[in-house]
Structure 1
Amino acid sequence: MKQTLLAAALSLALSAQFAPVDALAAPVAAKAAAKADARFQAIYKAEWQWRVKQRLAWDEDEPRDVRDALPKVDARTQAARLAMWEGVLRQLDGIRAADLSRAEQINHAVYRAQIAAFVAAQRFREYEQPVNADSAFWSDIAYIARRPLKNAEEYRAYLAQLADLPRYFGEELDNMRAGLARGFTPPQVTLAGRDAPLLNIVNAKAPEDTVWYTPFKEMPATMSMDEQARLRAQGIALIGSAVKPAYAQALQFFRDEYVPKARTTLAAERLPDGKAYYQSKIVEYTTTDLTAQQIHQIGLSEMAKIRADMQQTMVKAGFKGDLPAFLAFLRSDPQFYAKTPEELLMRAAWISKKFDGKADQYFGYLPRRRFAIVPVPPDQAPYYTSARGGPGIYLVNTYNLPARALYSLPALTLHESAPGHAFQMPVALEQQGVPPFRRAYISAYGEGWALYCERLGSEMGMYETPYETFGMLSYQAWRASRLVVDTGIHALGWTREQAQAYLHDNTALSDHEIETEVDRYISWPGQALSYYLGEMAIVESRRKAEAALGDRFDIRAFHDTVLQLGAVPLPVLKARIDTFIADGGKSPYEDVKRPASK
């Protein structure tokens, strides 16, 4: 995958958005656009229908969990997917983005980048590594056990999925064997202890003690007691006869074959065709064509700015020592840490409600979907990140409380809940008339927005003490340091210890978080780059709009415009803000009446 593929597609699409159209030529142009739109729509609609049948996506009208089989992931199926997506790219090459209507130009830019990423992943056979330091297929698939089932039909489909689990696990293990044979594995050092979720299932005393029994604990009252008992008995039998043996086989393979033979090098560039592979991940996760060296230098430059802000905040806190001493103080003083999981969860809830009281001053459109605050499941918590958010949920990691600083909790909550992930994603999902592929997550946009929300907390008055402000700055430094560490590891020969030391010296993260985070970056190349580069794009666009619009700039209209667009490549976001400026800073919801900003 050439690194210029994304840039070329986006440039072609976006340069056409602002091209002047002669009044006499407008009807002809509109007719040509309608024809081009129809061709493009036929391509993406056909591909989407195929994608749904592949169990790689789902229709809005089709509940995600009622399917009676798990996805196919074997090598033959993967080859067919590559052929399909390569064919789609060839079809897209037959359409000039400049011929499309404005709305479809945006769709084209998003879709082309999405399909290009799919093709790159298939060509590099990423499916042969369905495990890393952050997650694994055996943990990811367990989401189907945690979603509520509504009726007997959905329970029967769930039972069919349980029966299909050995086939699915077997295909994933075959993929791992193929990756192992060619040296395409996560680094061995990042896999220690990652078999814990497998052990939890294998060592469970009874099927009822596993996550897979969850749907049977509380069943809908609309189902008769006899039917509930019958389905529950079938579930217990399948967990014992299909699920547990599949986990036992995976555990044996992971321990006896995979980990001992996994690669001992760290860099993505040491993988087969590694330089091209790492650049493909940079393109995917940043939606830019920056090189590893360029990103590394951006990280160093931004870290210098953040350290200066950290020094000033340390002085405001009244601390008399130097920065290393202050970081040691923050990591060790008991006042900064919750004593119980409940305390951590309640503090997170309080911060979330503080935002609710300020939301209408910064956002015109508020999503209807609310979110729950839930602890990370114990089988995932030891190696899980500090928190994650999304539609309907804000997961907070309550494992190892001395590693969960309260002064960082406001920034963390703004990032993962509202106005971050648990706010942004529902807004995108509530948009009407958007093709289903536009609902996919683009890391540079989504993580960039969430990190921007941490900074926004300063304007919103969410940080009440210098320590909380420092927690925000530490999180900014954490994400800026990822630009240095990720590229350092995967392109510049950094060691694991060197990466850990860089985070230790430049952030207030606990040693536990530093270890889990560095292992995550090592085994998930490129993903860590999306956060800070995404935030920089949003901040740059906001400054441009503020300068151009002056007194006409409305922060709510700006935020609504960014969020209404949904997850898009960064060049698309920047082009949309150019349109926002050209339109005089109007909100995309201008027909919705609301009180003036305070």
Structure 2
Amino acid sequence: MKQTMLAASLSLALSTLLAPAAASAATRPAPARATAAADARFQAIYKAEWQWRVKQRMAWDEDEPRDAGAALPKIDARTQAARLGEWEGVLRRLDAIRPADLSPPERINYAVYRAQIAALVAAQRFREYEQPVNADSAFWSDITYVARQPLKTADEYRGYLAQLADLPRYFDEELDNMRAGLARGFTPPQVTLAGRDAPLVAMADAQRPEDTVWYLPFKTMPATISMDEQARLRAQGIALIGSAVKPAYAKALRFMRDEYVPHARTTLAAESLPDGKAYYQSKIAEYTTTDLTAAQIHAIGLAEMAKIRAEMQQTMAQAGFKGDLPAFLAFLRSDPRFYAKTPDELLKDAAWIAKKFDGKADQYFGYLPRRRFAIQPVPADQAPYYTSARGGPGIYLVNTYNLPARALYSLPALTLHESAPGHAFQMPIALEQTDVPPFRRAYISAYGEGWALYCERLGSEMGMYETPYETFGMLSYQAWRAARLVVDTGIHAMGWTRAQAQAYMHDNTALSDHEIETEVDRYISWPGQALSYYLGEMAIVESRRKAEAALGDRFDIRAFHDTVLQLGSVPLPVLRARIDTFIAEGGKSPYATGK
């Protein structure tokens, strides 16, 4: 398996998308009638598959409220094999369509969709469902989205009660899958699992059902439900949390402690897994949307780290620091002025930074999302092993655990990345695009993380960094993401140890030791994902420079940003092609032209 399915899909779909239309018969545009027919065939494929995916409870239509009463998804081995067969069939039907026959909008959809389906096929072939836990997340935490859905009617509450009753079956299927992975050595490295059972412990040890996340829907119930009915539903919920949910968590906790963790693999590299070289290359293709090799990415990381290090030296001089970089990093990690005293102080500083951006937004963006976001702390049971923050539609989570590890000088860059104009800004804009099929609203890491990291750099232009220390915090974060190119490939393809990866991060970023340990374990247990950020940012920066050079005085930063964001998540070659069109059209905003 020298080339992964996803890399192959990009090679096919994107080369056709980007090739000159008259280059050959294979790429020459079809007559209008043939184009309409090809569009119809392609649309029939993706519409049918999407509806099947919704029925499988693997996706939902954002335009409609999620069915709170729908059953929990089936995830057993037979269901997983059936999913592989479905997606392989979709891939064959896609290959029967010549992308050059499609209309320009559907040609973009084809490139996005085929890459998405190929990634799903690859994940099923490597049986990734047998490892539903890593250092960053686990199925027992992910499934709590069910408890966080708004419920409006008594029927929806009864559906939720049915889900609580079904939870033991769902957990058992997850544990069966994990046993199958354990039997063939397909697990996260043992060292990355220490303490990750904390949410299981919290749930299993909860004294009262009312103290658990699963009770959330019953805390405030709609006034349209009678008080008597509320009392009955609430009592049933309490009973099911006690009789079904808590025992399921306790069973998973015993499994983790007695079976899984003691026998998890002790090697680190993804290449040490079954068919590991092909598996790691498939993750590179999925998370970078390129066919770059591990060696190529490692070299890019080293080169970019050297550039950032030179910027760091300049910023140190601006701060008036006389020592070398290691001394400056030690100073930043230890001086109490750079750290919040209380969780509220950290949260309030994050809110202040977010509001500062609001005052500058219309200078850099023509289209602003309608959805706002809340700023909340990471849940206490997840915080010790959670990343520093995470953002998305409607939410900016800030980790207030271990405050001496949460530097204030890095908070502006972190906030721009996770809230606005990063994830909590970009994702809602993608969801507000009404003229794209629902699969286009899926998240492509190279695009989404690349955009968020670009926003950190953009903060310099926007005047968001008010001191050399805050500028250095941004540069440290740039170095953090460039270091990921070195560390991820070092661990998974070049035999690096955990200590070696931690040392590299310690010597090249201002991250605290706690953050470094948490982050390195995340990269070890989640191969390839860390490669998304810097390669994605590079693609956006290079596209912007190309547009600035081509358009000169006609370049409008707001139109450029609107064009990038209006696309939603796409593979990086599709983004580059869209900016070429943006240049050819004279740099107009997609909202001004109606495109």
TM-score (norm 1): 0.97
Query: Which residue identity lines up with residue 207 of structure 1 in the other structure?
Result: P
Residue 492 (1) aligns with residue 506 (2)? no
Residue 571 and residue 300 in structure 1: after superposition, are their counterparts in 2 closer, same or farther (change >3 A)?
Answer: same
1:219-261, Cα deviation, whole Å (9 max, x unpaired): 1222211111111001000000100010011000000000000
Q: Given that residues 385 and 516 in structure 1 are in contact (C-alpha distance below 8 angstroms), is that contact kept between their aligned partners in structure 2?
A: yes
| Cα RMSD (Å) | 1.5
2:576 corresponds to: 574
- Number of residues of Structure 1 aligned to a counterpart in Structure 2: 589
2:12 is the alignment partner of 1:9: yes
Task: Kindly provide the amino acid, as one letter, of the partner of residue 516 in structure 2.
Answer: I
Q: How does 1:62-73 map to 2 (within 5 A)?
A: 62-73=64-75
Aligned to 1:398, the other structure's residue is in SS state coil
The code of the aligned residue for 1:390 comes to G
State the distance in 2 between where 1:386 and 1:306 align. 22
CA distance in 2: counterparts of 1:470 and 1:12, whole angstroms: 39
- 2:51 equivalent among 46, 49, 53: 49
Paired amino acid for 1:9: L
- TM-superposition CA deviations, 1:175-219 (whole Å, max 9, x none): 000000000000000000001000000100111111111111111
Q: Structure 1's 18 and 341: CA in aligned 2 closer, same or farther, altered over 3 A?
A: farther
Fraction of identical pairs, as percent: 85
1:402-457: CA deviation from partner (whole Å, max 9, x where unpaired): 11000000000000000000000000100111100000000000000000000000
Candidates 219, 224, 227, aligned match of 1:225: 227
CA contact (8 A) 2:393 2:423 kept: yes
Q: Alignment partner for residue 443 of structure 1, among 422, 430, 445?
A: 445
Match for residue 34 of structure 2? 32
* Alpha-carbon distance in 2 for matches of 1:168, 1:200: 19
Mapped to 2, the partners of 1:7 and 1:235 lie a distance apart of 48
- Other structure's SS at 2:31 match: helix
Would the alpha carbon gap of residues 448 and 61 (structure 1) be closer, same or farther in structure 2, given more than 3 Å must change? closer
Shift of residue 474, structure 1, vs aligned partner: 0.2
Shift of 1:16: 4.8
- Mapped contact 1:374–1:396 kept (Cα < 8 A): yes
Tell me, yes or no, if the aligned pair for 2:491 and 2:524 is still in contact at 8 Å.
yes
Distance in 2 of aligned mates of 1:9 and 1:114: 13
**CA contact under 8 A between 2:69 and 2:158: conserved in structure 1?**
no
User: Which residue is equivalent to 1:595?
Assistant: none
Relative to structure 1, is the Cα distance of residues 148 and 17 closer, same or farther in structure 2, using a 3 angstrom cutoff?
farther
Give the secondary structure class of the aligned counterpart of 1:142: helix
Q: Distance in 2 between matches of 1:410 and 1:278?
A: 33
1:114 aligns with 2:105: no
Select 2:341's aligned residue among 336, 339, 342.
Answer: 339
Structure 2: stretches of 5+ with no match in the other structure:
none
Match of 2:553 among 551, 554, 557: 551
Residue 60 (str. 1) matches residue 50 (str. 2): no
Query: SS of the residue aligned with 2:151?
Result: coil
CA 1:547/1:379 → structure 2, altered by over 3 Å: closer, same or farther? same
Deviation at 1:31, TM superposition (A): 1.4
- 8 Å CA contact 1:286–1:533 kept in 2: the answer is yes
CA contact (8 A) 1:10 1:571 kept: no
Aligned pairs for 1:242-261 within 5 A? 242-261=244-263
- CA distance in 2: counterparts of 1:272 and 1:87, whole angstroms: 25
The alpha-carbon deviation at position 484 of structure 1 amounts to 0.1
Q: Match of 2:69, SS? A: coil
Of the three residues 427, 430, 439, the one matched with 2:429 is 427
Equivalences for 1:317-336 in 2 at 5 Å?
317-336=319-338
- Which residue in 1 is equivalent to 2:465? 463
**Per-residue deviation, 1:483:** 0.1
Q: Distance in 2 between matches of 1:8 and 1:16?
A: 11
Q: Report whether the alignment pairs 1:207 with 2:209.
A: yes
Residue aligned with 2:181, SS: helix
Aligned twin of 2:200: 198
Q: Aligned pair 1:380/2:376, yes or no?
A: no
Which of these residues, 74, 80, 85, is aligned with residue 82 of structure 2? 80
- Alpha-carbon distance in structure 2 between the residues aligned to 1:17 and 1:445: 24
Task: Report the Cα offset of residue 65 of structure 1.
Answer: 4.9
Letter of the structure 2 residue corresponding to residue 339 of structure 1: K
1:271 corresponds to = 273
* Distance in 1 of aligned mates of 2:19 and 2:364: 32
Structure 2 CA distance, aligned partners of 1:68 and 1:98?
Answer: 40
Offset of 1:591 from its aligned partner? 5.5
Measure, in 1, the Cα distance between the counterparts of 2:36 and 2:450: 34
Cα distance between partner residues in 2 of 1:38 and 1:9: 20
| C-alpha distance in 2 between matches for 1:453 and 1:251 | 40
Per-residue CA distance 1:85-127 (angstroms, 9 max, x = gap) = 0000000010000110000000000000000000000000000
Alpha-carbon separation, structure 2, partners of 1:17 and 1:138: 49
Check conservation: 2:449, 2:532, Cα contact below 8 A: yes
State which of 481, 484, 501 in structure 2 corresponds to 1:482.
484
Partner of 2:129: 127
Within the candidate set 404, 407, 414, 1:405 is matched to: 407
- For residues 331 and 99 of structure 1, what CA distance do their matches in structure 2 show? 57
Letter in 2 for 1:8: S
Q: Do the aligned partners of 1:331 and 1:508 also contact (CA within 8 Å) in 2?
A: yes
CA shift at 1:354, angstroms? 0.3
Distance 1:17 1:397 in 2: 49
Contact 1:66 1:153 in 2 (8 A): no
Contact 2:62 2:431 in 1 (8 A): no
Maintained 8 Å contact 1:13/1:109: no
Alpha-carbon distance in 2 for matches of 1:329, 1:231: 56
Counterparts of 1:443 and 1:370, CA distance in 2: 22
Letter in 2 for 1:167: R
Long gaps (5+) in structure 1: 593-598
Q: CA deviation at 1:21?
A: 12
Cα distance in structure 2, aligned partners of 1:524 and 1:21: 41
User: Hey, what does 1:291 align to over in structure 2?
Assistant: 293
Matches within 5 A, 1:164-175: 164-175=166-177
1:146-199 superposed Cα distances (whole Å, 9 cap, x missing partner): 233222222111111111100000000000000000000000000000010000
| CA deviation after TM superposition for structure 1 residue 8, in Å | 1.9
* Partner Cα distance (1:335, 1:368) in 2: 37
Q: State the SS of the aligned residue for 1:141.
A: helix
Structure 1 CA distance, aligned partners of 2:305 and 2:251? Answer: 46
CA contact (8 A) 1:17 1:102 kept: no
Secondary structure of residue in 2 paired with 1:290: coil
